[in-house]
Amino acid sequence: MIKLRANYSVHDIVKFGVISKKLDFSSISTARYIDLEYENFKVSNLQYEDLDFILDIGRFKPDLSGCYVVDDRYYIRDDYIFYEDSYKFAKWKVEISNFDSNDDKILVRLQANIPGSMLVSGFLVDHIINYLLNINGYPVIHGSGVCRDGKSIIFTAQGGCGKSTMAMYFANNNYSILGDNFVIVHDGRALSFLTPFNLFHFNIHNIWNKLSTETKFNFYLKYLIFKLSGLNITTKINIRSIFPVADMAKIDKILFLKPCNRKFLLEQINKEELLNCILANQMLDSINFLRCMLEYSYVFPESTLACYWAMYRDNLEKSISNKTAIFKVNVPKNAINASKYIYEWVKKNG
């Protein structure tokens, strides 16, 4: 008996459903947090047969017969991974099957406790979406993207480099947002990946007057909890509610942000250098999931999963046109000033 069901579609390339057979606290919470994260992808008219992967939330017992046991924690057989993991208070159990054969849908079973349910998107769902997008030739870049008049600028960076600040600054100046954390690239175009903004004390003033009183109150309550207990619960807010968004646009410029203690610097780099940077960035970004991927790759070195990073680089190479202008930018600590510079520079150079 399926008691809960929600469907999501990422540009019709990756379609996934969340189901639950038993409604307990943790599965309701998990479903809620997933819904919050992928709100903008939600669709109602999807058939079960069309789905690319299914996330089944709730208690389950894995069938481990014939599995390789690596590091006493990962159970692996052809097309199948099971593992348990934890982070601070969060605990989860994951079973992923059918990911290596192209014809069938990926089945994921997930059991997480309440703190774990808040992290589901970061430790699992994002990575599976990225994986599916990649094997379909749509690599995802960790970065933010904005566009105007059908031309887009992508800011690729690590966390804390000011990519959200850049995106917000541009959005405050009549640009539309393509994504705050991820952007999909394909065939010289950037496709949107609209996940919610994470509000922090250092970026909230950029969009202060666009927030409702309730959100502000909510934010400061959580900030107080953070200051008192060190427990960091981020406030998320849907981008759609504050900025205009766009679906896709031609890639005009890619700016690769490097935070630096010195002054602002902008210089052109070649594509090869960018690809290497993005690859390192992406690996650093998916380090939580990397272990699972590498353990499987060790057992099956010729599987699709084992070729994932080589494939990712190839796809990037194909997706970014050779004519795209690529720059690296040294961003000083105050990212707002840098945003101003870049904005003026873009205005001047078209």
Partner 1 sequence: MARKYSSCYNIHDLLTVSVNSVRPINDLDREFEFFRCDHINDCNINININISNFKPKLPSTYYILDNKYCISDNYIFYKDTEGCASWKIELFGLETENIVVNFYSKYSYTKYRDTILNPNFLVKDLLLRLIEYLVNTKKGMFLLHSAGVDRNSTAVLLAGRGGSFKTTLTMDLVRYNNFNLLGDDHILCSNNKKVFSFPENLSIFQYMLNNLETERSWTLSKKLGLLYSLEKGESKFCLNIPKFSNLRFIIFITRKKQDDIEIRKLVNLKYISKKLVFNNMVDDLISPYRLGINTGIFLKCLFAYSYIFPQSSISKMYGNLECGLSRLLENVDVFEIGIPYKYNSGISSKISSFIEYLLEVYT
* CB 269 to partner 1: min, Å: 9
As measured in angstroms, the least distance from the Cβ of 306 to partner 1 is 7
Sequence-ordered list of residues with C-beta below 8 angstroms from that of 350, at least 6 positions apart, any chain = none
- The answer to whether 9 contacts partner 1 (rule: CB under 8 A) is no
Q: What are the phi and psi torsion angles at 267 (to 5°)? A: -145, 150
Q: How far apart are CA 64 and CA 144, in angstroms?
A: 40
Do the Cβ atoms of 168 and 129 come closer than 8 Å? Answer: no
Q: Pairing between strand 151-156 and 140-148?
A: antiparallel
End-to-end Cα, the chain, rounded Å: 57
Among 101, 212, 241, 276, binds partner 1 (CB under 8 A): 276
Q: What are phi and psi of 286, to 5 degrees?
A: -105, 30
The three-state secondary structure class of 10 is strand
Any contact of residue 64 with partner 1 (CB under 8 A)? yes
When asked if residue 262 is in the footprint of partner 1 (CB under 8 A), the reply is yes
How remote is the C-alpha of 165 from its chain's centroid?
Answer: 17
Give Cα 232 distance to the centre of its chain.
19
Q: Which is nearer to partner 1, 12 or 302 (CB)?
A: 302
Residues 74-133 close enough to bind partner 1 by CB under 8 A: 75, 87
Q: What is the smallest separation between the CB atom of 216 and partner 1, expressed in angstroms?
A: 25
Closest Cα partner for 31 from 21, 41, 20, 22? 20
Size of the site for partner 1 (CB under 8 A): 41
Q: How many Cβ atoms sit within 10 Å of the Cβ of residue 31?
A: 22
225 binds partner 1 (CB under 8 A): no
336 touches partner 1 by CB under 8 A: no
* Binding residue for partner 1, selected from 297, 315, 319, 339, defined by CB under 8 A: 297
Q: Which is nearer to partner 1, 46 or 299 (CB)?
A: 299
Nearer to partner 1, 309 or 341 (CB): 309
Structure tokens given for 140: 């995802």
Binding test (CB under 8 A) with partner 1, winner from 208, 287, 323, 350: 287
Reading the block at residue 54, the tokens are 């299914």
Q: How far apart are CA 253 and CA 231, in angstroms?
A: 38
Q: 53 or 123, CB closer to partner 1?
A: 123
- Using the rule CB under 8 A, is 71 a contact of partner 1? yes
In the bound state with partner 1, the residue whose beta carbon lies nearer, of 77 and 236, is 77
Tell me: does residue 244 bind partner 1 (CB under 8 A): no
Instruction: Give the interface with partner 1 as residue ranges (CB under 8 A).
Output: 64-72, 75, 87, 158-161, 258-262, 273, 276-277, 280-281, 283-284, 287-288, 290-291, 294-295, 297-299, 301-302, 306, 330, 333
